[in-house]
Structure 1
Amino acid sequence: MQAYVDKFRKDVATLEQRANGRVTPAMLSPVRVAVPEYESADGRGVKLEEVATVGVRDGTTLIVTVFEEQTLKHVEKALYDAKLPGVVPQKADSRTIKIPIPKPTVETRLAMFSTAQRQAEDTRVLIRKQHQASVKKGGYEKHAPEIKEFQTLLDKFLAEVDKILAEAKKSSGAK
């Protein structure tokens, strides 16, 4: 259950960072590049950092520089396929892609918060499923003290998710 809460906290922090307009190379960390020469074992492609460097210029533009020219088209395709909000790659030269990141608007902040709300509900569902699986696996009697302990843990983690969401709401300016 703690792992689900930690992942949710990390996802919300990423969303808040984007909503506040901070441009960092970490924005492109979810991008996976399908390069035939470097294909990963799970078939999902390799991380962008393994085939290119990502830097920030002027605080508003990401610069992706590939190590080898022939991988540029694969990187460009991966950036489009990632469907990251506000990310529109522009080829600068044979090894470089510029990605201007627009300043966040009120609408984008609200969209980030609604995404956080959806993720919060998904996290709550995962935590409840974990709770049910733990109780079922233990095979406890109806009024066993262990069941009360599990319920206390469930309530604690659900409250933590709600607290993280409330902080995100406050920082995004949503009503």
Structure 2
Amino acid sequence: MLVPGSQRILAGEEYTKAETKMKAFVDKFLKDVAALEQRASGRVTPAMLSPVRVILPDNAGTDGRGVRLEEIATVGVREGTTLIITVFEEQTLKHVEKALYDAKISGVVPQKADSRTVKIPIPKPTVEARLAMFSTAQRQAEDTRVLIRKQHQTSLKKGGYEKHAPEIKEFQSLADKYLTEVDKILAEAKKSSGAK
């Protein structure tokens, strides 16, 4: 297929690699912000516990990172404000409780209900909590920007381009495109948090 000269990317494979990585950084940031906004909105869903990894003594050697909560328990929502975790096997409950504390998810304080169940009442978010969520999003935005800029620099070094090579412009506009995406996501988060 012939590509018009104005649309052809001179930097080639390195450009494609850089674009893939930058897109992945922005996608992760978008996902993180969506999770923050969900918590800030007060909507209680089992997805709030998706970062939780449970280390079980018999499989701790597999990769050391543990298993996902939904692999060893069911997670449900009661009355729209309380998460209910029911483990499949009684002996895993104490490991689940430890994992919940270790995950350090704001507002998550597990309460043992019986030998197989943990309740987690989720408080309604305050204005302060929403602002705290936004400041977390701001930090994550800056981290994402740093990753994009580093990728930009790495790609330029790998390419070894001359000072005024057209490829440098291509990489710059690629980085600018993804930095703009980060700004847009952050602006949306600011709007939904009510931050000034």
Which interval holds the TM-score relative to the shorter structure?
Answer: over 0.9
Pick aligned residue for 2:140 from 110, 119, 136? 119
Deviations 1:82-136 (A, max 9, x none): 1110111000000000000000000000000000000000000000000000111
Deviations 1:138-163 (A, max 9, x none): 11111110100000011111011001
Looking at structure 2, the residues matched to 109 and 93 of structure 1 have their Cα atoms a distance apart, in angstroms, of 32
- Give the C-alpha shift of residue 38 in structure 1: 2.9
Looking at structure 1, the residues matched to 80 and 134 of structure 2 have their Cα atoms a distance apart, in angstroms, of 23
Percent of matched pairs sharing the same residue = 85
Looking at structure 2, the residues matched to 160 and 14 of structure 1 have their Cα atoms a distance apart, in angstroms, of 18
Query: Is 1:171 the equivalent of 2:185?
Result: no
Q: Could you list the runs of 4 or more consecutive aligned residues of structure 1 that deviate by over 2 angstroms after TM superposition?
A: 38-42
SS of aligned partner of 1:157:
helix
Alignment length (residue pairs): 175
Letter in 1 for 2:76: G
Written as runs of structure 1 = structure 2, the 5 A alignment for 1:16-165 is: 16-39=37-60, 41-165=62-186
- Give the C-alpha shift of residue 42 in structure 1: 2.2
Q: TM-score, normalised by structure 2?
A: 0.88
- Give the C-alpha shift of residue 40 in structure 1: 6.0
Letter in 2 for 1:10: K
Looking at structure 2, the residues matched to 138 and 145 of structure 1 have their Cα atoms a distance apart, in angstroms, of 12
- Give the C-alpha shift of residue 37 in structure 1: 1.8
- Give the C-alpha shift of residue 46 in structure 1: 1.0
Looking at structure 1, the residues matched to 172 and 61 of structure 2 have their Cα atoms a distance apart, in angstroms, of 41
Letter in 2 for 1:155: D
Looking at structure 2, the residues matched to 29 and 160 of structure 1 have their Cα atoms a distance apart, in angstroms, of 25
Q: Is the 8 A contact 1:53 1:64 kept in 2?
A: yes
Letter in 1 for 2:102: D
Written as runs of structure 1 = structure 2, the 5 A alignment for 1:5-16 is: 5-16=26-37
Larger Rg: 2
SS of aligned partner of 2:106:
coil
Looking at structure 2, the residues matched to 77 and 50 of structure 1 have their Cα atoms a distance apart, in angstroms, of 16
Call closer, same or farther: CA 1:76–1:101 in 2, change over 3 Å.
same
Call closer, same or farther: CA 1:40–1:5 in 2, change over 3 Å.
farther
